Amino acid sequence: MEIQAAVVRQVGGPFEIEELTLDDPRDDEVLVRIVGAGICHTDLIVRDQHYPPKLPVVLGHEGSGVVEKVGAGVVEFAPGDHVVLTFMSCGRCQSCLIAEPTSCDHMMDFNFGGRAIDGRATIHDGEVAIASSFFGQSSFATWALANERSVVKVPKDIPLEILGPLGCGIQTGAGSAINGIKLPAGETIVILGAGAVGLSAVMGSVIVGAGRIISVDLKKNRLELAKELGATDVIDASSANVVDEIMRLTRGGGARYILETSGNPVSLKNGINALHVGGTLGIVGAPPLGTEVTIDVNHILLNRTVRGFIEGMSVPKVFIPRLIELYRHGHFPFDKLIKFYSLEDINKGVSDSESGVTIKPVLRMAS
């Protein structure tokens, strides 16, 4: 079928709106009319070719929409269902079988390979294949084809256009606090970065009853929103020594729980240096492949843990509906992060995100 999609053809963009052809769904696939699609940092690091797949590519991995058609083997979904699209996993490896799909053996291939799991390109420009199936979806388009494993059914009484970011950025931040470090009630957490992921981690920390939530960022508007969402303390990294301030706020011992959400190696180094003996730091933000940080081995030797958290360590078909219920009852106001743009204004949304003007740009497709 013919679709409109935002294509990146050169390193660094721009996104170009083009008429392309999308495959019909195969047995395990779902055709979704996209209603909304969040713009995420991960889309931009692929645009800049810090991550695969190679260009040209249709990105977008925070889609929400309405099921229009399902493959012959799909039983969980039917036309008319409201859905959120999330990351892809195989469902067969050991990690998937023990309900840890974020550690899937095929995480990189299935989400960054530029092809569907059967190896085919699902989007074409005439006879030319376009890298697609990004995170199992490629939702910067009017229609997307998704494997049933990356589709989550959602209630019809919640505005569908706001739900796409739950598929990645929002579940990543909230899940890293709730599922990843398993923040105990009453504890202190430091969250480095107050973008969509970091602010979602603030909200997740509120949900589990954190005693103190310290948000760190360079942008004053983001720190103000962090306080509105539940941060008890903020550190302006543009003017303060971050490590010294964390030590001051934690009475000199450092924090037992830290999340680094910005992808900035300097911020990560600050987090490691501010980590309490026996503490845990979760790396959430993604820098370019090959980025390295030097550490003092003896600092880590004192029972400090530094590890990565992908997609909030969540099982999306369980976790996303829970976040929606929390939102429904006023406990998870993630809609405060969102500003809408049309598909044609995608480059404006990207620019506003990169400048910090907008926390979470969401493309709202014309009906």
322 assigned to some structural domain = no
**C-alpha to C-alpha distance for 260 and 191, rounded to whole angstroms:** 6
137 assigned to some structural domain = yes
Same domain, 35 and 83: yes
Nearest to 326 by CA among 169, 166, 126, 184: 166
Same domain, 137 and 200: no
Same domain, 6 and 154: yes
69 assigned to some structural domain = yes
What's the CATH code of the domain at 97?
3.90.180.10
Tokens 């530029």 found at: 114
Residue 68: enclosing H or E segment and its boundaries?
A: strand 63-70
Q: What is the pLDDT of residue 60?
A: 98
Q: Are strands 188-192 and 128-130 parallel, antiparallel or unpaired?
A: unpaired
Q: What angle do CA 321, 326, 329 make, to 5 degrees?
A: 125
**C-alpha to C-alpha distance for 276 and 266, rounded to whole angstroms:** 18
Residues of the chain under the 70 pLDDT cut: 367
Same domain, 277 and 162: no
Same domain, 131 and 155: yes
Q: Is residue 60 classed exposed, middle or buried when 0-12, 13-18 and 19+ CB atoms within 10 A define those classes?
A: buried
Q: What is the pLDDT of residue 366?
A: 80
Full-model pTM: 0.96
320 assigned to some structural domain = no
Which amino acid is it at 253? G
Same domain, 97 and 222: no
Q: What is the pLDDT of residue 92?
A: 96
Same domain, 31 and 152: yes
Same domain, 34 and 181: no
Q: What are the helix (H) ranges across the chain?
A: 41-47, 94-97, 107-112, 169-175, 196-207, 220-229, 242-249, 265-273, 297-301, 316-328, 346-355
CA 193 from centre of chain: 14
Cα→Cα distances 19→2, 3, 285, Å: 7, 6, 33
318 assigned to some structural domain = no
Q: What is the pLDDT of residue 367?
A: 67
Same domain, 14 and 160: yes
> How many domains does the chain contain in total?
2
Residues 6+ apart with CB under 8 A from 304: 272, 275, 276, 277, 278, 279, 280, 281
17 assigned to some structural domain = yes
Cα→Cα distances 350→252, 281, 330, 339, 363, Å: 39, 29, 29, 12, 10
Cα→Cα distances 159→32, 35, 83, 116, 155, Å: 16, 10, 11, 29, 9
Tokens 């970011």 found at: 165
First to last CA, the chain: 17
**C-alpha to C-alpha distance for 157 and 144, rounded to whole angstroms:** 22
Q: Is the peptide bond before 14 cis (omega within 30 degrees of 0)?
A: yes
What's the CATH code of the domain at 251?
3.40.50.720
Give the domain extent around 192: 174-309
